[in-house]
Amino acid sequence: MTSPSLTAPHPMLTPEGKPSITDWTLTPTKIHLNHGSYGSVPRIAQQHQLELKARMDENPCIWFMGQAAAVGAARVGIAEFLKVDADDLALVHNASAGVSTVYNSLSFAPGAEIVTSSHAYGAVLEGARRVARRCGGSVRIADVPLNADAEAVCELVMAEANDRTALIVLDQITSATARSFPVEAIAAAAKARGIPLLVDGAHAPGVLEFPVPEFDGYWVGNLHKAACAPRGTAALVARGAFKEVLDPLIDSWGFPHSFPESFDHVGTQDITSWLAAGTSFEAIERRYGWDGFRSYSAELADYGQALIGAAFTAATGEDATADVGMPVGPLRLIRLPRGLATTHEDSHAIRAWISDELDIETAITTFDGEGFLRISAHLYNSPSDYEEFAEKAVPQLAHLARTR
Ligand SMILES: Cc1ncc(COP(=O)(O)O)c(C=O)c1O
């Protein structure tokens, strides 16, 4: 307990003085350290969405006749939250849908190549491989070390680009390795080479004050992660000439319009999550402030990382620190004891075991054949959550590694 990062922040309280977790409906029998994967929706936004669903079923005819206009209005509110022009933003149900929309809208010449990095999200990478299979091309993966700095990331990614590169796909904040990438620098380098860039900003909304970088190209982001919107709320941002080629993934009645109005028409889909998203944004701003979220979650994540890392090192004698080069906001990585979670199958099994046996929700990730614990911090977390992980889970995981 000597490092300054081991100073625990005061637990966050509601304006009424109650523990902040009372604004959520998370089960109290578990500790929730994995907001990063699936988010968690504040009680007030859940209630709003339920009211909207009830209204939809009171008169479906009226609801669906007015749905496109309602989507257009929600789009304006979401654009304001993301600090982008509403004419550059379409709503989609998740980051995956946004990425698939771009993959399906662009033309890929025979033999075209897509460049990405070894930190790419698995499903996004698989989508790129499918595009490559269809056009007889290939995916080039820049091998980026965990601790690479901005300059190294930029060099390694751009070194994979050539005359056949039709698209660069890059994470803004990575999933398995909880780090950020220098997207502005890569956007500038890609523009200089005339290559379109798709930024996977799934984790950026809420985490970054300005989540959508200033560049001409494509950006997708989930509002249902840190920003706490009801699930199924994501944005696809496209600027300049790049937006002209975008068609919705699912054809509907928006076809006479251009982007983004063409995306406002989604047929008979339930878009109540989009309409209730603003309730989450407003409630968090009113009760805690988004700046308050960003500073509290970063401080708490620092504390959790230092505490749990020190506990692992004390239990195993191994260095548990994971230098991720460009750490970011509320996500942190801690190296697991040697031999644990070295494959995706093992990481899933260990995560499930920690949940079932120890009642703690975490993300266990594998990168480059090594296993990591990824912790998240949100307003509803408190220092005791990480202390409990250090006390309960660390000795058990160290024992597991020793006895395997
Ligand atoms: C970096 C990244 N990209 C894309 C996704 C996909 O998000 P969704 O499942 O909401 O489409 C995730 C999900 O965690 C992610 O971490």
Q: Residue 138, CB half-sphere, CA atoms under 13 Å: how many?
A: 7
Tell me what pLDDT residue 5 has: 62
Q: Is the peptide bond before 248 cis (omega within 30 degrees of 0)?
A: no
Ligand 1 pocket, mutate which of 37, 40, 92, 96 (most atoms under 8 A from CB): 96
Q: Nearest Cα to 147, choosing from 139, 156, 158?
A: 156
Instruction: For ligand 1, say whether the CB of 264 is within 6 Å of any of its atoms.
Output: no
Give, as one character, the DSSP assignment of residue 230.
P
* Element spanning 370, H or E: strand 370-376
Distance 59 CA to ligand 1 centre (A): 34
- Start and end residues for every CATH 3.40.640.10 domain found in the chain: 45-283
| Domain at 45-283: CATH architecture | 3-Layer(aba) Sandwich (3.40)
pLDDT of residue 6: 80
CA distance 45 to 42: 6
- Whole-number Å distance, alpha carbon 381 to ligand 1 midpoint, is 22
What one-character DSSP code corresponds to residue 333? E
Q: Tell me if 384 CB under 6 Å of ligand 1.
A: no
The dihedral region occupied by 45, where left means phi > 0, alpha psi between -120 and 50, and beta the remainder, is alpha
229 ligand 1 Cβ < 6 A: no
> For residue 310, what are the CA distances in angstroms to 66, 278, 307, 316?
56, 39, 5, 10
* CA separation for the pair 75, 69 (Å, rounded): 10
Give the pairing of strands 113-117 and 138-142: parallel
Q: Are 144 and 119 in contact (CB under 8 A)?
A: yes
CATH 3.90.1150.10 intervals, the chain: 20-32+289-403
Closest-CA residue, ligand 1 atom 7, reads 95
Nearest-CA residue for ligand 1 atom 10 is: 94
Q: d(Cα 87, Cα 186) in Å, to the nearest integer?
A: 24
Q: Counting atoms of ligand 1 from 1, which one is nearest the CA of 224?
A: 10
* 8 Å CB contact between 233 and 48: no
Q: Which of 131, 140, 141 is nearest to 110 (CA)?
A: 131
- Of the options 3.90.1150.10, 3.30.450.20, 3.40.50.620, 2.40.370.10, the CATH number for the domain spanning 20-32+289-403: 3.90.1150.10
How far is it, in rounded angstroms, from Cα 239 to Cα 219? 9
Rounded CA Rg of the chain: 22
307 three-class SS:
helix
Identify the DSSP state of 3.
S
Angle 75-80-84 from CA coordinates, rounded to 5°? 90
CA–CA gap between residue 298 and residue 9 (Å, rounded):
10
For 217-249, how does the pLDDT look when each residue is reduced to its tens digit (9 = 90+)?
999 999 999 999 999 999 999 999 999 999 999
What's the 52 CA to ligand 1 centre distance in angstroms?
26
Distance from C-alpha of 364 to C-alpha of 351, rounded to nearest angstrom: 6
**How high is the pLDDT of residue 3?**
55
> What does the pLDDT look like over 335-381, one tens digit per residue?
999 999 999 999 999 999 999 999 999 999 999 999 999 999 999 99
| Residue entry with tokens 């039709």 | 166
130 CA → ligand 1 middle, Å: 18
Q: Is the CB of 200 under 6 A from ligand 1?
A: yes
222 lines ligand 1 (CB under 6 A): yes
State the pLDDT at residue 1.
41
Buried residues in 63-96 as b, exposed as e (16+ CB within 10 A): beeebbebbbebbebbbebbebebebbbbbbbbb
Q: CA neighbours within 13 Å on the CB side: how many for 121? A: 23
Return the pLDDT at 92: 98
| pLDDT tens for the 404 residues of the chain, in order | 445 468 999 999 999 999 999 999 999 999 999 999 999 999 999 999 999 999 999 999 999 999 999 999 999 999 999 999 999 999 999 999 999 999 999 999 999 999 999 999 999 999 999 999 999 999 999 999 999 999 999 999 999 999 999 999 999 999 999 999 999 999 999 999 999 999 999 999 999 999 999 999 999 999 999 999 999 999 999 999 999 999 999 999 999 999 999 999 999 999 999 999 999 999 999 999 999 999 999 999 999 999 999 999 999 999 999 999 999 999 999 999 999 999 999 999 999 999 999 999 999 999 999 999 999 999 999 999 999 999 999 999 999 999 98
Q: Is 37 in the pocket of ligand 1 (CB under 6 A)?
A: yes
Q: Which residue, among 375, 363, 288, 310, has the nearest Cα to 23 in the 3D structure?
A: 288
| Ligand 1, pocket-test mutation among 222, 274, 374, most atoms within 8 A of CB | 222
